[in-house]
Structure 1
Amino acid sequence: MKKRVIISAFLSLFGIAQLQAQMLPYQNVKLTFEQRVNDLVSRMTLEEKVSQMVDEAPAIPRLGIPEYNWWNECLHGVARAGLATVFPEPIGSAASFDADLISRIGNATSDEARAKYNDFIRQGKHGRYEGLTFWSPNINIFRDPRWGRGMETYGEDPYLTSVMGVNFIKGLQGNDPKYLKLVATAKHYMVHSGPESERHRFNATTDQYDFLDTYLPAFKKSVQEGKAFSIMSAYNSYNGVAASANIFLLSKVLRQELGFNGYVVSDCDAVADIYEGHKEAANKEEASAMAVTAGTDLNCGSTYRALVDAVKSGLISEDRINTSVKRLLMARFKLGMFDPDNMVKYASIPYNIVNSKAHQQLALEAARKSIVLLKNANQMLPLSKGIKNIAIIGPNANDEKMLWGNYNGIPAETVTPLQGIKAKLPDANVVYARGCELAETTGVIDSAKVKQNFDEAISVATKSDVVIMFLGLSPRLEGEEMKVQAKGFSGGDRETIDLPKPQEDLIKAISNLHKPLVLVLLNGSALAINWEAENVPAIIDAWYGGQAAGTAIADVLFGDYNPAGRLPVTFYKSTDDLPDFHDYSMRNRTYRYFNGEPLYPFGYGLSYTTFKYSKIKVPQGLTTGESYTVTTQIQNTGNKAGEEIVQLYVKHLDNGIRKPIVALKGFKRIYFKAGEIKTISFNISPESLSLVDKNNKQTERAGISQIFIGGAQPDHQGHTATNITAGKVIVKGAVYAIK
């Protein structure tokens, strides 16, 4: 018996040794990823390499490479793959001004992504929306409120967008030193924000100042701090060259200057646009060669299949193909796709984490924190829970799909505002009327139905003690390259920023009844609600708040949650205040360069309590290159507990250089008990005082800068009850370059 055991053990060891001897280098988990990738690519034919450079990459059985689809989405939760937790649209999450919240949303999203992937692999599925390479986040600057996809972004400010983007990316990609939880893709690189209907042929132009000061920072931070392993190139051209074939953007800036070492994927069919839309190439072979040479490694689409002929005709070398394929395979190795599950901790995430109770609670927290209180005349809000008759009116009051935004998953349960209020006040008489459609259709109008809806709303409001109206926009009106048959909307963009006329007419008629009136906006971009701001006593903005939006809105309306959100975009008074939509210059755009008077400024938002700022301390006599700390004392001077969004802005007093009017450089979301006093500090790097100089270099200059800390922008104190405190920093020494 003992002899048999010894023989069996010997044969087992012999078998393992034989297996190891037969193992190819790319299969050896003891080698580095780089060694394994290099070996694997060396064994592939040209045709096999090219086959891996499109989003629908086929299997290569002889090398053990499974099929893989690179296309997946997780803008605010795992999208387009069935059940998932649906968080607020990013513009709403940005309104939270809570970096930790964004990180936790990213982590919850990647948990669900891995759980779904693990389940798909068990079922042998490798299709679209079933992989681990996700085309999120969208970190474009929301420069113009007419752009329909602005709701996918973190707003108009480079600093806020950078912080939110980095935290989301880190949450998505995980913290394992060897393996990625999933691949995050920062998009759309570069200088991309409409018009949607022209994106396949449009040429966005800027000078170097705006490029470096506004459009590049979020991508720079996403690469250097977030370590995003993927970048998506945009549809449009930039300064005359298609983004997917732009050597300046993809080679000089992205790889040489920013140090990016991941892979670049084109937006879908953007490589075809190089010759079909931008007319910069004669055919698909030439367009493909141009894109790969510039640095686009992966084609969403089929155009790259022409690369085999492009190599054979001398348009591009096979060595250059090798470079792209190695980058793509490196991503798959880093995701653990070629290693045993027991080596990859993320491979054990169970499916029951999808839309778990913890994630549902996080969705509610995010929805609450996204809500911005815009107006509260005579402290009308919060409403009393003793109200008996409540009229709920408006096309957005009971529309669950609107709450999901775009690029969304499907939650197990969605709470609409109507449902949230009914659940909050089960004994009240809550009556609903749609009142009107979202916008005027350009098709045939059923006048009788329009009048019936309008009359029903008036009747319901007349019998109520309070009217709560749910108006705004919808992802069916604003979004990505859409066919919308409604006045004021074109291709997913908006032609005007006013509240659509049917809604404007309805709220004016309801207001004439002289009932207590609350307006709740649900939207993905700024609205010029001039009449409402003047005539409606209470207004909140709840964005597209995700699966728990109705509960969160009810919590705010009836005082179970004290709102603290802030606007991540400027609310302008009129489209007349804006430059031409096609103009990508930042002159007179966003709070950093807008010279007019906004309706509501960036960073604005009210609370059910008040805060006082005092005793700011800033260093004096800094030398260029030094970091510094700024502190201030804040007191909750009201009788309610609540959170405050503490914002730090820098204003440069040197008139000899082009610069923003004022710029956000720090923020924190802090909880205060009633009457509580806290000292808050900000650690500020030299980069916070830097500007783009006349030589187009990011530099910290000797000079005087004013530092503001408060609950709002310094230039708009009149729009908020929140105090602001200020001090000056004097920087001595020579000009200091910021890398």
Structure 2
Amino acid sequence: MPISLVVILLVLFLGVSLQTSEALDPFACDPEDGTSRNFPFCQVKLPIQSRVSDLIGRMTLQEKVGLLVNDAAAVPRLGIKGYEWWSEALHGVSNVGPGTQFGGAFPGATSFPQVITTAASFNATLWEAIGRVVSDEARAMFNGGVAGLTYWSPNVNIFRDPRWGRGQETPGEDPVVVGKYAASYVRGLQGNDGDRLKVAACCKHFTAYDLDNWNGVDRFHFNAQVSKQDMEDTFDVPFRMCVKEGKVASVMCSYNQVNGIPTCADPKLLKKTVRGRWKLDGYIVSDCNSVGVYYSQQHYTTTPEEAAADAIKAGHNLCLDLDCGPFLVQHTEDAVKKGLLNEAEINNALLNTLTVQMRLGMFDGEPSSKPYGNLGPKDVCTPAHQELALEAARQGIVLLKNHGPSLPLSTRHHQSIAIIGPNSNVTVTMIGNYAGVACGYTTPLQGIERYAKTIYQQGCADVACVSDQQFDVAMDAARQTDATVLVMGLDQSIEAESRDRTELLLPGRQQELISKVAAASKGPTILVLMSGGPIDVSFAENDPKIGGIVWVGYPGQAGGAAISDVLFGTTNPGGKLPMTWYPQDYVTNLPMTNMAMRPSKSNGYPGRTYRFYKGKVVYPFGHGISYTNFVHSIASAPTMVSVPLDGHRQASRNATISGKAIRVTHARCNRLSFGVQVDVKNTGSMDGTHTLLVYSKPPAGHWAPLKQLVAFKKMHVAVGTQQRVGINVHVCKFLSVVDKSGIRRIPMGAHSLHIGDVKHSVSLQASIIGVIKS
């Protein structure tokens, strides 16, 4: 049986190796350097703010400008080495950024499933555990001199349009799920050592960024037109949760403009929102070369010096602290000389970046003296880490169809398997994009070979599937075996950064291959789909010859083992779709450039995501079935909740009238929540892990969503047993909606909670505290 996550985490906790690589020379404040070690900025006992101020005060303008870019220059006279800020750790330590290199003592790192797959687990505990493992391996590699400590991950943009090539990097389409993922993964990466950081994470790309290259429009020229309502209700939510709940050390602004202003030069977004309202404790970095982009491609400023000045201050407001790219190091000094910028404003930017480096311990002298200095090569790709990658893949697999049921397969009745398809024996395809070098791979073919004899045929040379030359031999294999598994779908040639899809159908002649093999198959036919984005497989859903459909996303280095464990019932699938699967005709006349979330009857605009779209779907958000059956019942829940209003605010005298929507800022939100107790019973024939999704349908209102997810929980329920689960619903956070002016309000009246097939109504009633001013 698979090792439980609890055991994995215990092993992770107890099994940290004391082995270390060769000692890394200190980044700064070398205890053997008799000059620099005596500077106040090297005194660990002093407050970090005092140390940073001392350091900034010792640098020349030229030295300061050299620190404004990702490949920050050394300051030899102060004993400070150069530093590469750009490293990536989306789902494992990656070598996409120049700050990380594999080889020697570190040939690879644990490659977890792509984020969209891990999100399908709906397991926040798992998300944080993965973050802890990734940061262990990142620190080990830093100690070995082959990685940095600043990781520009995770990607917490909303998967708004199903064609987006980078949707695979995100936790899906629901703002609350994406925000919860962001906060959980960031906590895992950054650790819980108070003000100190294990590594520094970064939530990107702020904001309204979800188009790369579609129909002649690219991310470098796109101006996203976003309403105040959609900004507050959708696009801001994950970033706010990342900053306020995850305490992330960095936010990255995006390439695109929002309502005519480049995000990296917009003081309303960066100064007022990220720093002001959300109180970011860290630095803001540009997406790579985005400052150069808004000068040379968007023509937002007339001179490069103006672009540099706008990046750093945008009027009198501090915007960027760090430029990924050379632009600021090339033009900032000239901007100062022309009076567009002053040195104090550069100091403010350095205050934020240097503080993060101080929090990482980079100015504390010998690395081995730090809390994580004992991590080394033997703490990378450990058996426990690789087992967690396998467990994450198992939890992220979603069973979409099981007619018959056809699954799970039996080692007794299905002793021979035809495994067919261009993704049947892939390795790097399984780890998606922004991946590093995996510890090793188990392909789907290798996984299935552990359970049965196999006949393997590709069917298509690759996922483009332009030829039917291999169809006949694939059909012959299906005729000879007890069952057929088709591993089809997409890869980075179809969906990737800078590559959006034009349609939702399977590429080339894949559909034809699937249908012909299914028709020829002697035994049950199972379709396994590897992809980041949704695919219109209506034909397979409606084909009685296709007994099962399984979506595995990009399942990481252990993907093949996880797939076979699910197909043969060693693992009971419990994943749920984190995004809606639309039919092809949904996107036929829908431009990716239309950012509106809500539908419009006047122009036939359908709306986006399960929260606002109510048309036909292939599979809905949250869909995912099991080999067993779960029954829900509500054990206890309130029928009425009082919402106390502060009468000393400018609250309306009509606030107590049912049907009104109260400003969140007028309610006393602290501890304004209620509990719901849900009983989940396993009435089937197999133990299983269940994903409990709790939705709220607000009172009718033209600007409210159709429904919204307010809570989710993961639990294991044995056959014939019942688990009671407590759900806490925070009224201001999860039962509020946003009006057309972008103001978050709490609708009074009946809110309907949906838990599986069970519904429960909770009436919110305002109560006035204090005196209302007229």
Aligned to 2:112: 87
Contact 2:634 2:676 in 1 (8 A): no
Matched residue SS, 1:664: strand
Matched residue SS, 1:528: coil
1:639 positional shift: 1.4
Matched residue SS, 1:280: coil
Aligned to 1:595: 614
Determine the C-alpha separation between the residues in 1 that align with 2:116 and 2:377.
28
The equivalent position to 1:505 in structure 2, one of 512, 519, 525, is 512
Q: Does 1:726 align with 2:759?
A: yes
Query: 1:158 and 1:439, CA in 2 relative to 1: closer, same or farther beyond 3 A?
Result: same
- The residue type paired with residue 677 of structure 1 is Q
* Unmatched segments (≥5 aa) in structure 1: 1-15, 482-491, 711-723
Aligned to 1:660: 705
Matched residue SS, 1:537: strand
The equivalent position to 1:544 in structure 2, one of 541, 547, 554, is 554
Determine the C-alpha separation between the residues in 2 that align with 1:589 and 1:347.
47
Contact 1:437 1:502 in 2 (8 A): no
1:621 positional shift: 2.6
Query: 1:434 and 1:531, CA in 2 relative to 1: closer, same or farther beyond 3 A?
Result: same
The equivalent position to 1:455 in structure 2, one of 472, 485, 491, is 472
Q: Does 1:319 align with 2:336?
A: no
State, as a whole percentage, how many aligned pairs show the same letter. Answer: 40
Aligned to 2:655: none
Aligned to 2:483: 466
Aligned length: 678
The equivalent position to 1:532 in structure 2, one of 540, 554, 579, is 540
Contact 1:616 1:632 in 2 (8 A): yes
Contact 1:701 1:734 in 2 (8 A): no
Matched residue SS, 1:134: coil
The equivalent position to 1:477 in structure 2, one of 494, 497, 502, is 494
Determine the C-alpha separation between the residues in 2 that align with 1:113 and 1:705.
45
Determine the C-alpha separation between the residues in 1 that align with 2:688 and 2:415.
28
Q: More helix per residue: 1 or 2?
A: 1
- The residue type paired with residue 327 of structure 2 is T
Determine the C-alpha separation between the residues in 1 that align with 2:111 and 2:637.
42
The equivalent position to 1:336 in structure 2, one of 361, 372, 378, is 361
Contact 1:230 1:265 in 2 (8 A): yes
Aligned to 1:705: 751
- The residue type paired with residue 527 of structure 2 is L
1:575 positional shift: 4.0
Aligned to 1:627: 673
Determine the C-alpha separation between the residues in 2 that align with 1:107 and 1:370.
18
- The residue type paired with residue 202 of structure 1 is F
Matched residue SS, 1:194: coil
Contact 1:195 1:581 in 2 (8 A): no
- The residue type paired with residue 499 of structure 1 is L
Contact 2:463 2:489 in 1 (8 A): no
Matched residue SS, 1:379: coil
35-44 or 281-290, which deviates more? 281-290
Determine the C-alpha separation between the residues in 2 that align with 1:315 and 1:414.
54
Q: Does 1:40 align with 2:50?
A: no
Aligned to 2:28: none
Determine the C-alpha separation between the residues in 1 that align with 2:695 and 2:446.
40
1:237 positional shift: 0.5
Matches within 5 A, 1:439-450: 439-440=463-464, 450=467
Determine the C-alpha separation between the residues in 1 that align with 2:475 and 2:354.
62
Contact 1:616 1:727 in 2 (8 A): no
- Deviations along 1:436-463, one digit per CA (max 9) or x if unpaired, are 144548xxx7xxxx34322221222222
495-504 or 354-363, which deviates more? 495-504
Q: TM-score, normalised by structure 1?
A: 0.89
Determine the C-alpha separation between the residues in 1 that align with 2:200 and 2:85.
10
Contact 2:690 2:716 in 1 (8 A): yes
Determine the C-alpha separation between the residues in 1 that align with 2:239 and 2:36.
45
Contact 1:702 1:734 in 2 (8 A): no
Determine the C-alpha separation between the residues in 2 that align with 1:68 and 1:172.
20
Determine the C-alpha separation between the residues in 1 that align with 2:712 and 2:472.
47
Matched residue SS, 1:183: coil
Determine the C-alpha separation between the residues in 2 that align with 1:153 and 1:437.
29
1:389 positional shift: 2.4
Determine the C-alpha separation between the residues in 2 that align with 1:469 and 1:528.
16
- The residue type paired with residue 498 of structure 1 is L
The equivalent position to 1:393 in structure 2, one of 420, 426, 436, is 420
The equivalent position to 2:172 in structure 1, one of 155, 162, 178, is 155
- The residue type paired with residue 415 of structure 2 is K
The equivalent position to 1:133 in structure 2, one of 150, 153, 156, is 150
Determine the C-alpha separation between the residues in 1 that align with 2:560 and 2:36.
62
Q: Does 1:176 align with 2:221?
A: no
- Deviations along 1:127-183, one digit per CA (max 9) or x if unpaired, are xxx211001000000001100000000000001101111100000000112320000
Query: 1:199 and 1:694, CA in 2 relative to 1: closer, same or farther beyond 3 A?
Result: closer
Q: CA RMSD in A?
A: 1.8
Contact 1:437 1:503 in 2 (8 A): no
Determine the C-alpha separation between the residues in 1 that align with 2:476 and 2:290.
52
Determine the C-alpha separation between the residues in 2 that align with 1:496 and 1:325.
45
The equivalent position to 1:186 in structure 2, one of 203, 206, 209, is 203
Contact 2:463 2:488 in 1 (8 A): no
Q: Does 1:29 align with 2:55?
A: no
The equivalent position to 2:397 in structure 1, one of 365, 368, 371, is 371
Aligned to 2:20: none
1:256 positional shift: 1.2
Aligned to 1:411: 438
Determine the C-alpha separation between the residues in 1 that align with 2:734 and 2:356.
33
* Unmatched segments (≥5 aa) in structure 2: 1-30, 96-100, 103-107, 599-606, 644-668, 770-774
- The residue type paired with residue 456 of structure 2 is Y
Matched residue SS, 1:584: coil
Q: TM-score, normalised by structure 2?
A: 0.85
